[in-house]
Structure 1
């Protein structure tokens, strides 16, 4: 009995130590705040998607087609991220991509038609792709230079930003604040924060040059079997995140008849559980094992979507999206790190290649769901993602994580 108590106490102390390491480390915390800034804007935007859909009189298919502009921007930018980061360095790449993000996010919310909305989302795809690789590389540089583990906590900050963004959005919707005004204020806050982050970001050792001082830009590589399996699992996890981001509010509001305020909580419920598990992830992953968690996570994510489909009520759907958040929580931290350790593939190239395909799942998944929803109903769109998550759980048994 005493042994069990002592073990549990050690577990709690270790989790506390992991969190203290992150929050009391200036470089780690600032990188985490960059993650949070990115998702704060996205969490604010996605809560207003039903409003924009209704204002522009878009069908499910038209909304899905418009949302597809983001992955197009991603696909065009991601192969260039290594070159840009090698030229600018991670700190400047974070700075300029964050500036672009704050400007681009104000376009779709004010778009007078479907074309302008698509243009804004295309620019969001470009800037978010560069920011994604730059901030993940910065997190890895902190880990390498200081010998600490912060990747899961950084992704926890991303989830926290989304949680705050959706929560604030739900509040302003309830107060009948104009979505355009809300997004302008959020963009302004992130713009100021971006300037404040720069001095500390510049103190982080850069990996944009190799040991000989030569610039080492990352490029696309043809994935081998190990990286291909990671990519599929990452794509499945990213599709689960994309479902919560772009379709949870629509599903709750239009399919289940929830109010706009309740619908905005869909992504909030997802973000709440994802955030909690990601902040604990740097302690959980070494104990459960990365492969085991990917298996369990895929199953839990699929179960969450099945609950949202099989029990079509707002309360149970919120539970389902919360469970989806648990399932998807640690996939990205595990796989981003693993993609940089694949034998025979340069670390930056592995990260850039993995990031491209996983972000395609994150951004292209919601448009695909839109097309499925238009033809068969949104239930089937969510069910498709559940099936993909179950397949990823099976593949997690055979993937090699180095």
Structure 2
């Protein structure tokens, strides 16, 4: 059965049609697999954070300070991303940054002390910043060249990678497999996928210049009011993702007393709902509206965290993290696309600037939560993110997206 016939038979179901458009397009799927590979590594790593914390005998504040090395790497790299992508092109940047990330992620899991762990996380931050901008730009190039919508599905692939990563990590923890061996296998798998994808990625048109003549390498501008509001909303959404990534397992294991296997499912519950909603996002956003969803999503995400705090038991906490996944699911796809359409700001510069601040929230949020947890308790750390999500819902009423 050919692709055209499959798509014709799915015309009655807009959700299936959009998903098939993504899955049956080689370029779109290849970019999506880059998103998934990136998150697979992160999902695998975060499940072992409680193990690293215990092995190195770190307090909450010590862990928070060490984790802060990753956003520092991001801050250092982000101003350079536009220049690097302009020199190498999006596909080659995705390729080399993915390879570098697989090597860097193996350092913190094997670190003998916090200095080596921080150095490894700094390198992870450098690589993450570069692949983040490159793969989002590549997704935009596919959308423009083929007149399709795939951004939400690509971010869905990122969530799927995290879901698989945390699920596999939970299994290997239950089987008492060494965290070092597990991460080595995951890194090797991503390396293999990266090499297999490169021939397809190289066929994606490069945005050497936009319609306005702006060079794709232009990056980072002083945000105007519209972009500033997007950044503030994006920071809240990114902190919601970050708290699920780095602190869900710790909260379930140390605060609520769950087993290691159950604790590893915290990020899995978050990723499951986030993945589901992102794969239908390209279909539902035109019906609901991007601004309306940002408002609803902020309220749902905050409700999930408040549930995990108010009813501090492993089952209710898992439901809370699942609701957080729903609330945060479409924030990134909406805002990444909107940042390239801000009036008066070149598209590539808008994307790079938003990506910088958004990823800072994603990576810097967990260390900040660590400092709050050390002083007041992890309940208050989660509560801080809930308040930010509520504020983002309010800001979403006034932001101008397109």
Interval containing the TM-score (normalised by the shorter chain): over 0.9
In the alignment, what sits opposite 2:76? 76
In the alignment, what sits opposite 2:290? 290
In the alignment, what sits opposite 2:32? 32
- Counting matched residue pairs gives 394
In the alignment, what sits opposite 2:13? 13
| Counterpart contact for 2:242–2:362, Cα < 8 Å | yes
SS in 1 for 2:242: helix
In the alignment, what sits opposite 2:342? 342
CA distance 1:330–1:212, shift in 2 (3 Å): closer
CA deviations over 1:73-131 (Å, ceiling 9, x no partner): 00010111000000000011001100110000000000000000000100000000000
1:37 to partner: Cα distance: 0.1
| Counterpart contact for 1:81–1:218, Cα < 8 Å | no
1:219 to partner: Cα distance: 1.5
In the alignment, what sits opposite 1:149? 149
What is the rounded CA distance, in whole Å, between the counterparts of 1:58 and 1:250 in structure 2? 12
| Counterpart contact for 1:22–1:29, Cα < 8 Å | yes
> Could you list the runs of 5+ residues in structure 1 that have no partner in the other structure?
1-8
In the alignment, what sits opposite 1:183? 183
Correspondences of 1:1-400 after superposition (within 5 Å)? 13-210=13-210, 215-400=215-400
In the alignment, what sits opposite 2:5? none
CA deviations over 1:269-293 (Å, ceiling 9, x no partner): 0000000000000001000000000
CA deviations over 1:209-250 (Å, ceiling 9, x no partner): 456999541221000000000000000000000000000000
| Counterpart contact for 2:10–2:16, Cα < 8 Å | no
CA distance 1:192–1:307, shift in 2 (3 Å): same
List structure 1 segments (4+ residues) > 4 angstroms apart after TM superposition: 9-12, 210-215
What is the rounded CA distance, in whole Å, between the counterparts of 1:11 and 1:48 in structure 2? 44
What is the rounded CA distance, in whole Å, between the counterparts of 2:189 and 2:290 in structure 1? 36
CA distance 1:256–1:96, shift in 2 (3 Å): same
CA distance 1:388–1:197, shift in 2 (3 Å): same
| Counterpart contact for 2:11–2:17, Cα < 8 Å | no
1:10 to partner: Cα distance: 9.4
SS in 1 for 2:338: helix
Q: Over aligned residue pairs, what C-alpha RMSD do you find?
A: 1.4
What is the rounded CA distance, in whole Å, between the counterparts of 1:396 and 1:328 in structure 2? 13
What is the rounded CA distance, in whole Å, between the counterparts of 1:19 and 1:10 in structure 2? 10
SS in 1 for 2:308: helix
What is the rounded CA distance, in whole Å, between the counterparts of 1:26 and 1:318 in structure 2? 35
In the alignment, what sits opposite 1:5? none
CA deviations over 1:120-173 (Å, ceiling 9, x no partner): 100000000000000000000000000000000000000000000000000000
What is the rounded CA distance, in whole Å, between the counterparts of 2:277 and 2:345 in structure 1? 30
What is the rounded CA distance, in whole Å, between the counterparts of 2:41 and 2:270 in structure 1? 16
What is the rounded CA distance, in whole Å, between the counterparts of 1:162 and 1:261 in structure 2? 16
SS in 1 for 2:204: coil
